[in-house]
Amino acid sequence: MNKKGSLGIAIISTIFVFIIGLTCINFITGEVTNARDDLNCSDAASISDGTKLLCLVVDTQVPYWILIIVSLAIGGIIARMTL
């Protein structure tokens, strides 16, 4: 296959991965909200240090997911261009 066709498939695959990944964020956001409610993260004065750390880890799940999606998309395009 020529370079233009390979790049076109890479772009279409990247858009597909990006859309599916961002759609999954809606499900993750609900679970993060439930976890924050269960851990009582809104009242920082009454929870232990370990629970505060766990609240921080739970809060970072959505940005990490976005970072993974963008990394996969960019990596897919670069892999198709170099191979």
- pLDDT tens readout for residues 8-22: 888 888 899 889 988
Are the C-beta atoms of 68 and 28 separated by less than 8 Å? no
**pLDDT tens digits for range 25-78:** 999 999 999 999 999 988 888 889 999 999 999 999 999 999 999 998 888 888
Assign 81 a pLDDT band (cuts: 50, 70, 90): confident
What domain range includes position 56? 3-82
Task: Please report which helix (H) or strand (E) contains residue 24, including its range.
Answer: helix 3-39
The number of folded domains in the chain is 1
